[in-house]
Homo-oligomer: A and B are copies of this chain.
Amino acid sequence: MANGADVSEFDLECSNLTKRFGGFTAVNNISFNIPNGSFFSILGPSGCGKTTLLRMLAGFLEPDEGDIRIKNRSMLGVPPNKRPVNMVFQHLALFPMMTVAENIAYGLKRQGVPKAEIAVKVQSALDRINLPDAGPKRVDQLSGGQKQRIAIARCLVLDPDVLLLDEPLGALDLKLREHMKVELKQLQSQFGTTFVYITHDQSEALVMSDQVAVMNNGVFEQVGDPQDLYYNPKTAFVAGFVGDTNRWKGVVKATSGSEVQVATDDGLTLTATGIGQGCKTGDAVDIFVRPESVALSRSADALSGMENRLAGQVKNVLFNGANSRILVQDPTNGGEIMVTLPQTGEFNDLRAGQDLHLGWKLSQAKCFAQEAGKASGAEVA
């Protein structure tokens, strides 16, 4: 797009990137541009090619086809140590034989920055990540979250055009990960550096990013802001992978405008909004309904306004505070539906074995052409 222009609004532009390993295409003809100073995430399941893509950006792999331009300069043939990008590795790769300060100073030393200046820069980096006294510590004296921040500081002190992050939170424990999500986002806006962040955890991508690319089998299925991906998925894969959801497989029986009548494999008839191609009569489709979109009621009447209605028995109450759900067993076929309990606390007294009515609107059931075979995603049931 902006190719050829002298000054670009994009820090990073990739065009038609392809990488093959033997006969296997790990990254398949991907193009994208990342605006200056934004937080860009690449979200996809394990093995979809995220790391491969990132390593091409860092220069550890040469693309088979396509071009990578950073600040409008092609990176083809530029070795990793000459690229204006830095990378935060999955396991951080902090140098264990050096102190924190030496770690941060490493890149500056390589650039031949004078000693005195290095000391100043290192200290200011430590200040900015809120660890002013960590300099003389050994790496193994730090907690997981502190290491995380040091790894980022080690890169940012070099003032890269683009910072690459390969699932940097993967190794942290649950609580810390929650905390670091918020912190990382804040660091990014504070430094103003462009972040390219890869993860297979949708909540990380959603919480932190300005833009998210959902990747699958070496291609980007959809690129957009988090709300966009969550509320308007363009493909079955995105619908299944981003956010929790219930999924039914079925065959289209009839259509009327974007409204689709589907007979599911387990014998229900559901009405959904068809999206994209492949929701014509006779097509095999997937239907997705988010657990929070399903309305609960003790009586069938209250749900009369809904296009889809079911009755079922509570199989399991998965109490989790504000995030509680129930597993409702569908009487006709034994299939299960996951439903989020309303925050109002209205159904807090539900117990396993009770009967319940469920319903959801046409607009909240999304119908997509079925994914090719294997692909699954993150559906709960």
Q: Which residues of A contact B (CB under 8 A)?
A: 174-175, 178, 181-182, 185-186, 201, 203, 206-207, 226-227, 230, 242-244, 290-292, 316, 318-323, 327, 340, 342-343, 348, 378, 380
Contacts of A206 in B (CB 8 A): 319-321
* 8 A–B pairs (Cβ distance < 8 Å), ordered by A: A203-B323, A244-B322, A290-B321, A291-B322, A292-B321, A322-B340, A340-B343, A342-B343
Contacts of A175 in B (CB 8 A): 378
Q: A182-B318, A226-B319 are known contacts; what are 11 more A-B pairs with Cβ within 8 Å?
A: A182-B316, A182-B327, A203-B320, A206-B320, A207-B319, A207-B320, A227-B348, A230-B319, A242-B321, A291-B322, A292-B321
Given A174-B201, A343-B292, A343-B343, A322 and B227 touching (CB < 8 A)? no
CB pair A290–B322 under 8 Å, yes or no, is: yes
Chain B residue at smallest Cβ distance from A293: B322
Cα distance, A67 to B5, chains bound together (Å): 79
In this complex, the member of A203, A291, A342 whose beta carbon has the largest number of chain B beta carbons within 10 angstroms is A203
Contacts of A230 in B (CB 8 A): 319, 321
Contacts of A182 in B (CB 8 A): 316, 318, 327
Given A327-B182, A342-B343, A343-B343, A318 and B207 touching (CB < 8 A)? yes
Closest Cβ of chain B to A314, distance in Å, is 13
Copies of this subunit? 2
The A contact surface, by secondary structure, is mixed
CB pair B185–A322 under 8 Å, yes or no, is: no
Cα distance, A185 to B321, chains bound together (Å): 17
Contacts of A243 in B (CB 8 A): 321-322
CB pair B227–A316 under 8 Å, yes or no, is: no
Closest Cβ of chain B to A326, distance in Å, is 11
Cα distance, A243 to B322, chains bound together (Å): 8
Given A342-B343, A343-B343, A227 and B319 touching (CB < 8 A)? yes
Chain B residue at smallest Cβ distance from A245: B321
Chain B residue at smallest Cβ distance from A179: B380
Residue from the list B178, B186, B291, B348 in contact with A316, Cβ < 8 A: B186
In this complex, the member of A181, A290, A319, A340 whose beta carbon has the largest number of chain B beta carbons within 10 angstroms is A319
